[in-house]
Amino acid sequence: MPRNSALFDLSGRVALVTGSSQGLGFALARGLAEAGAWVVLNGRDPDKLERAAEALRGEGCSIATAVFDVTDSAAVAAAVARIEDEQGPVDILANNAGIHRRAPLADMSEADWRAVIDLNLTGAFLVARAVVPTMLARGRGKIINICSVMSELARPTVGNYTAAKGGLKMLTRSMAVEWAKRGIQANAIAPGYLLTEMTATLAANPEFNQWICGRTPAGRWGRPEELIGAAIFLASSASDYVNGQMLAVDGGLTAAI
């Protein structure tokens, strides 16, 4: 058991954060890197990813990049093999990649349904399945699935996303029950309404903004960096006996009616 000062130390750990060229993933990557991890950023757009990597390297972070689409299992397998080769086995996986395609369910296209389930849910399974063999072999690993308040609550126009995030919560429990005995902790973080590129149009809508601020006990939107404490906890030895849990970082939103 490490001393308190070492409980949250990620020095020497390799962390892969999917969807990390912007938004929550970028903030998580920065937070894990500042806690000592060697962080592999992932995204689909090589230029955007490189810009994100350069920004973090400029702050003194240890950063590598892996361009791949989390829905493409062959690309995932190839990328993970390369990461293992170059950086070493993945100690920490943050399944963060996510998209929105908002539409009322009655009008939602099959393509928009499938795209969101595929990326937000199936993608997390595919990347976890690719990194878990070396975790199982070494008897340790941390998987952090980025869920949502939409893992618990629904609102109109985001039925595909809500179904995917609800599924991701249960996938987290499935990972925990299958792998806990093997030294792997799988848990989730459920962010509330945080200001990112994905929520910018919502935040800019005065009516929506007022609704969220009124609905959230903290009375405001969250900032991406407010996820970092939870992520470091779930990525570090501090959470070695925590399995299958979803920690809400939502200003109290899911605690309130």
- Residues with catalytic annotation? 161
Q: Compute the least distance from the CB of residue 142 to ligand GCO, in Å.
A: 21
Q: Given the rule CB under 6 A, which residues bind ligand GCO?
A: 100, 102, 148-150, 155, 158, 161, 191-193, 198-199, 202
Contact 83, 63 (CB under 8 A): no
Q: Output 149 or 247, the one with its CB closest to ligand GCO.
A: 149
Query: Residue 94 and residue 143: Cα distance in Å, rounded?
Result: 6
Query: Residue 33 and residue 250: Cα distance in Å, rounded?
Result: 23
Which residue, among 8, 28, 11, has the nearest Cα to 237 in the 3D structure? 8
Q: What is the DSSP string of 209-238?
A: HHHHHHHSTT-S-B-GGGGHHHHHHHHSGG
Q: Compute the least distance from the CB of residue 59 to ligand GCO, in Å.
A: 26
Contacts of range 3-6, beta carbons closer than 8 Å, 24 or more positions apart: 6/237
Q: Output 203 or 242, the one with its CB closest to ligand GCO.
A: 203
Query: Residue 174 and residue 255: Cα distance in Å, rounded?
Result: 24
Residue number of the CB atom closest to ligand GCO = 148
Q: Are strands 184-191 and 246-249 parallel, antiparallel or unpaired?
A: parallel
Q: Compute the least distance from the CB of residue 170 to ligand GCO, in Å.
A: 17
Distances (CA, A) of 81 to 20, 50, 91, 131: 19, 20, 14, 9
Q: Output 179 or 193, the one with its CB closest to ligand GCO.
A: 193
Q: Compute the least distance from the CB of residue 208 to ligand GCO, in Å.
A: 9
Q: Output 75 or 195, the one with its CB closest to ligand GCO.
A: 195
Q: Compute the least distance from the CB of residue 246 to ligand GCO, in Å.
A: 12
Q: Across-strand partners of 141?
A: 184
Q: Output 20 or 199, the one with its CB closest to ligand GCO.
A: 199
